[in-house]
Amino acid sequence: MGKQKNKLILILSLSILLLQTGCSSMGKSMGLGGTIGAGTGAALGGIVDPGKNGQYRTRNVIIGAGVGAIAGTLAAASIHDSNERDKELAYLKGQEAQRKSSKGQSVPSLQQPKVEAVWVESKVVGNRYIEGHFEYIITEPTRWEAP
């Protein structure tokens, strides 16, 4: 009985470790969880009371694999959802922290340039006629304003 208990502990430990490794998609997570669950369930089914002369061993392995696959798939889906929720919350916290830091800390702004408008009268230059117009002169360029 001690050997069977050690095998059971080893199989469960390996299953838990494998379930905690991250997968990139829900399908992969559920597939891996189902596979690990089926293997674990089949192993446990083989260990459970096989009956007289091992007559129930095959039945136990099949039932164990089925139940293990279902449990593994459900556990993997739950773990995947939890990880996705954690990622989303971390993203939202980062955005909120960025908003707070930009509000609390003034960002320098650009000062508008100072422009002077000068009216130039109509005139004739050589054989060209230049109609009156405004010329705009930048007297002070744009620059950063201290917060």
Task: Indicate if 95 and 121 belong to the same structural domain.
Answer: no
Mean pLDDT by 10 residues, the chain (147 residues): 64 62 68 86 83 82 88 87 89 82 69 92 94 94 83
Q: What is the pLDDT of residue 103?
A: 61
Domain residues for 76?
2-104
Task: Indicate if 36 and 78 belong to the same structural domain.
Answer: yes
Task: Indicate if 35 and 62 belong to the same structural domain.
Answer: yes
Task: Indicate if 113 and 99 belong to the same structural domain.
Answer: no
Q: What is the pLDDT of residue 138?
A: 94
Q: What is the pLDDT of residue 72?
A: 87
Q: What is the DSSP string of 38-98?
A: HHHHHHHHHHS---GGGTTHHHHHHHHHHHHHHHHHHHHHHHHHHHHHHHHHHHHHHHHHH
Residue that the structure tokens 């971390």 belong to: 90
Q: What is the pLDDT of residue 131?
A: 94
Task: Indicate if 99 and 57 belong to the same structural domain.
Answer: yes
Count of the separate structural domains present in the chain: 2
Task: Indicate if 76 and 131 belong to the same structural domain.
Answer: no
Task: Indicate if 67 and 113 belong to the same structural domain.
Answer: no
Task: Indicate if 97 and 141 belong to the same structural domain.
Answer: no
Task: Indicate if 68 and 44 belong to the same structural domain.
Answer: yes
Task: Indicate if 41 and 88 belong to the same structural domain.
Answer: yes
